[in-house]
Amino acid sequence: MNTVLANKDLIKSWERSKKHGANLAKTQEAMLQEYELKLQQEKKRDLLNSMHPTIESLAYSLKSSNTIVAISNSSGYLLNSIGNLSFLDEAEKNNLQNGACWSEQMRGTNSAGTVAIEQKPLTVIGSEHYLPSHRTLFCAGSPIFNSIGELDAVLNISGHFSAYHPAMLGMVDNISRSIENWMLVRQPKPQLVLSLYPESKKYYEALFAVDLHGQVIGMNREAHRLCRIDNLLVTPIYLEELFSNTDELLSRTMKTSSTSLIRLYTKGTEQKCFFASIVYDSRPQNFAYTEKIKTATKQFTTDRKSTSSYSFNDIYGADKTLKSALSTAKKAAKTDYTIVITGESGTGKEMVSQAIHQASTRSTKPFVALNCGGITKSLAESELFGYEAGAYTGAKQSGQPGVFEQAHGGTLFLDEIAELPIDIQTTLLRVLQDFKVKRIGGVKSVQVDVRLITATHTDLWEKVQEGSFRADLYYRLQGISIVLPPLRKREDRLQFAYKLLSKIQGETHRYPLTFSPVAEQFIEDYSWPGNVRQMSSAIREAAFLSTGDTIDIQSFPNYILSDFQKRETTGSLLQDTERKVILETMNKTGGNVAESARILGIGRNTLYRKLDSFSLKN
C-alpha cells in the first residue's frame, strides 16, 4: 500500500480493489449509456423524487465549499448529482457526471463503492483513495436502506480534500436516516408506524410499520439492528413475536391514542424495556385490530407494482376539464376496452389507471405496471413476455413470467408506451391480436386475459407521422382516450394545494397549517412544470421547513423560487407577487396595519418595512 490506513474497513477495501484490478481505464467502459441511465433512474424514481428537495438544499448549503452531493445506486452508478464542479478539471468533471460508475471494482476505495459493500457510513479522504487520480478529493457516504432492509442507494458528498470537516459524515448519515424514515412512512399500504426507543435514548429512534394484522411490513435501520433482522423478505415476522404487550398498542389509533407511552418488553432471555408511541396511522377509519393471520403472509414486490393502491375517491379534482376526464375514466372502468391516458409527467396517469382497475370487475385480480421508457430491445422482450430457463446468460434457472402473464385476469398498465422500441411494437401487436404470449426461448404460447391501459406524455399520432410508432399498433390501442390536463391549466390549483396540505398535516401531526396570502398567490401564479408530483413534494417540504402555523413563500424549495424568477424576463416576479398581495390586503382592511399583518401571517414591524420599501421604489 502507498499510504497508511488506520480504518480496518478501508484496509479491506484496498485489498479488494487490488484483487479486482481497479483502474481508471475500466471506468470509461463502465459508463452508462443514456438509455441505460434513464432506466436506472426510473427504477429509483420514487426515491429520487423524494430526495431531490433534500439534496438540493444540502448542495446549496455546501455551495461555498466547492462540494457536490450525489446519489448512487447499489452498483455504484451515479444517478443524480448537484453542486459546484468548478474546482475540478474537465477530466475529473466527467468522473462525477450522471451515469459514471464508482463501484469499488472499477475505481477502488471510494465512499460510493465501498459504502455499497460495507453497508455502513464512512469517509475516504485524500490518500485513502485507492486510485492516485482521486487523491485530491474527499468523499463521505452513508447507505440508504428501503423498508425491508435492502440497500436502496448511497448518499455521498465530495469535494477537494482540504474542504473536509469531520462533521460532514455525521450530517450525511443523519440525512440518510431521515430519508429512510420518510420513505417508510410514505408506503402506500394501510399501516401503523410505531416509534420505539429505550429509556436511555442513546440510540436512534426505531420505527416499525405493521399491517392490519400486526405483521411487520417495514422497519428503519435502527429497528433492523434492534431485532437483528437483515431482510423482511427472508424473515417475515409479527410484532407480537418481538415484544410483549402489543395488543393494547395495535388497538389504538391516532385519534384515540393518548400522550402516554406504552412500555414494550423484548421477548427472550434478555428482556429490555422500550417506550412505544404511534407516529403515523393510515389504516381505515373503521379499522379494528384482529388476530394475525399467518396464512396470509405478505408478499413483497420490489421491481414493479402488482397491486393498485388508489381509487377514484383518492383523486381530487374541482377543475372542469379534470372532472370530465375522470367521468370518462369511471365509465371506461365498467368496460374491458383498451384505454390510452395522455398527460404530462406528474399529472397522475398511473393513479388514474389504478383507480380504473379498482372500479372494474377485475379489482380482485393483479394490477401490474411497467414503464416502457428507455429500455433496450432484449430487456423489453423479457419484461413483457418473460423467458424460459437458460434462455440467455444470466437468466434465472426457474425462468421468469412477463408482465402479461403476471397480470392474467387483471390489468396491465404500460406507461410511456411511445418509447417502446419499434421492433418490440411489432411483437406487441401480434400479442394484442389473440392475447397469446410466448416466452423468450419457449416453444408454447400461453393464453392470457388482461385489460390493457397505456399512457404517454406525448401525442401518439405525431409519433405515427414521424415513423417512430406503428400506425397499426396505434389503431389497436385506441379504445377509449383520456387526456389529463397539466396543473398550470387547472382552475383548482389552490384548492388542490390545500387538499395536499390537509393530508400532510396528518403525516406531520401539525394542526392547523395554512398558506399565507403571498404563498397562495404564488401557488396560483407558478406554472408547476412537474405538475401534481412537483406540487406535492414542494408543499411537503414547505410544511416541514415552516416554523409556525402559516406557510410563507420562503419555505418553498429554492429551485422552485429560482425557476419562478427566471420565467419573468424583467423585474422580480416574487417581489411583484408579494407587493400585489400586501397592497390588496391593506385595501381590504382600510389601511389597518395590525389586521393586515395578522391576515398576512407576518409581524407588524415586518409589514412596515415592506411598505416602506414599496414607497421607496415608487
pLDDT in tens, 589-603: 887 888 787 777 677
User: Coil, strand or helix: which one is 421?
Assistant: coil
Both 379 and 435 in a single domain? yes
Q: Note the pLDDT tens digit of each residue in 173-205.
A: 999 998 988 888 877 777 888 888 876 655 568
Please, are residues 78 and 112 in contact by the beta-carbon 8 Å criterion?
Answer: yes
Choice between 74 and 596, residue whose per-residue pLDDT is larger: 74
Which long-range CB contacts under 8 A does 126-133 form with residues at least 24 apart?
Answer: 126/161, 127/2, 127/3, 128/3, 128/5, 128/7, 128/10, 130/13, 130/14, 130/17, 130/18, 130/22, 131/22, 131/23, 131/24, 131/107, 132/2, 133/24, 133/92
Both 233 and 318 in a single domain? no
Both 389 and 281 in a single domain? no
Give the rounded percent of residues in the chain with a pLDDT score beyond 90: 29
Least confident of 193-207, 333-347, 440-454, 580-594: 193-207
Compute the average pLDDT of residues 94-106.
85
Q: Which of 130, 149, 184 is the last residue of a domain?
A: 184
Compute the average pLDDT of residues 607-618.
62
Both 17 and 101 in a single domain? yes
Q: Please give the Cα distance from 332 to 319 (Å, whole number).
A: 20
Compute the average pLDDT of residues 74-99.
78
Per-residue pLDDT band for 46 (boundaries 50, 70, 90) equals confident
CATH number reported for the structural domain that contains residue 566 in this entry:
1.10.8.60
Please indicate, yes or no, if residue 498 is contained in any of the structural domains: yes
Give the CA count within 13 Å in the CB-facing half-sphere of 487: 25
Please indicate, yes or no, if residue 58 is contained in any of the structural domains: yes
**What is the model's pLDDT at position 410?**
93
Is a pLDDT exceeding 90 seen at residue 503? Answer: no
Please indicate, yes or no, if residue 448 is contained in any of the structural domains: yes
Both 502 and 472 in a single domain? no
Give the CA count within 13 Å in the CB-facing half-sphere of 86: 5
User: Coil, strand or helix: which one is 210?
Assistant: strand
Residue 487 is which amino acid? Answer: L
Please indicate, yes or no, if residue 296 is contained in any of the structural domains: no
Q: Note the pLDDT tens digit of each residue in 261-320.
A: 778 878 765 677 888 888 888 776 544 444 443 333 333 333 344 456 788 988 888 899
Give the helix ranges, DSSP H, for 221-340: 221-227, 239-242, 246-251, 320-333
Give the rounded percent of residues in the chain with a pLDDT score beyond 70: 82
Both 175 and 220 in a single domain? no
Residues 6+ apart with CB under 8 A from 137: 126, 129, 158, 159, 160, 161
Is a pLDDT exceeding 90 seen at residue 337? Answer: yes
Q: Number of helices and strands (H, E) in the chain?
A: 25, 22
Q: Is it true that the peptide bond before 512 is cis, omega within 30 degrees of 0? A: yes
Both 208 and 174 in a single domain? no
Number of domains the chain contains:
4
The chain-wide mean pLDDT, for the chain, equals 81
Q: Please give the Cα distance from 124 to 109 (Å, whole number).
A: 8
**What is the model's pLDDT at position 304?**
45
Choice between 63 and 477, residue whose per-residue pLDDT is larger: 477
Please indicate, yes or no, if residue 293 is contained in any of the structural domains: no
Which residue range forms the structural domain that includes residue 263? 192-287
Produce one character per residue of 129-145: b if its CB has 16 or more CB atoms within 10 Å, e if not. bbbebbbbbbbbbbbbb
**What is the model's pLDDT at position 292?**
40
**What is the model's pLDDT at position 122?**
94
Both 202 and 345 in a single domain? no
**What is the model's pLDDT at position 161?**
87
- Rounded to the nearest 5 percent, the helix, strand and coil shares of the chain are 45, 20, 35
Please indicate, yes or no, if residue 3 is contained in any of the structural domains: no
Q: Which of 431, 456, 483 is the last residue of a domain?
A: 483
Per-residue pLDDT band for 521 (boundaries 50, 70, 90) equals confident
Which cell is 352 given?
A: 388514474
Is a pLDDT exceeding 60 seen at residue 433? Answer: yes
Q: Which of 483, 511, 537 is the last residue of a domain?
A: 483
From the list 443, 454, 451, 465, the residue with the least C-alpha distance to 419 is 454
Is a pLDDT exceeding 60 seen at residue 17? Answer: yes
Both 175 and 40 in a single domain? yes
Is a pLDDT exceeding 70 seen at residue 258? Answer: no
Pairing of the two strands 436-438 and 151-160:
unpaired
Least confident of 17-26, 406-415, 500-509: 500-509
What residues does 125 pair with on adjacent strands? 138
Both 216 and 254 in a single domain? yes
Residues 6+ apart with CB under 8 A from 76: 101, 102, 103, 104, 106, 107, 112, 113, 116, 154
Q: Note the pLDDT tens digit of each residue in 447-462.
A: 999 999 999 999 999 9
**What is the model's pLDDT at position 288?**
46
Please indicate, yes or no, if residue 301 is contained in any of the structural domains: no
Both 598 and 578 in a single domain? yes
Choice between 63 and 285, residue whose per-residue pLDDT is larger: 63
Both 106 and 162 in a single domain? yes
CATH number reported for the structural domain that contains residue 383 in this entry:
3.40.50.300
Q: Note the pLDDT tens digit of each residue in 203-246.
A: 568 899 888 777 888 889 888 888 887 777 666 688 888 887 77
Per-residue pLDDT band for 331 (boundaries 50, 70, 90) equals very high
**What is the model's pLDDT at position 293?**
35
Please, are residues 239 and 246 in contact by the beta-carbon 8 Å criterion?
Answer: yes
Is a pLDDT exceeding 90 seen at residue 338? Answer: yes
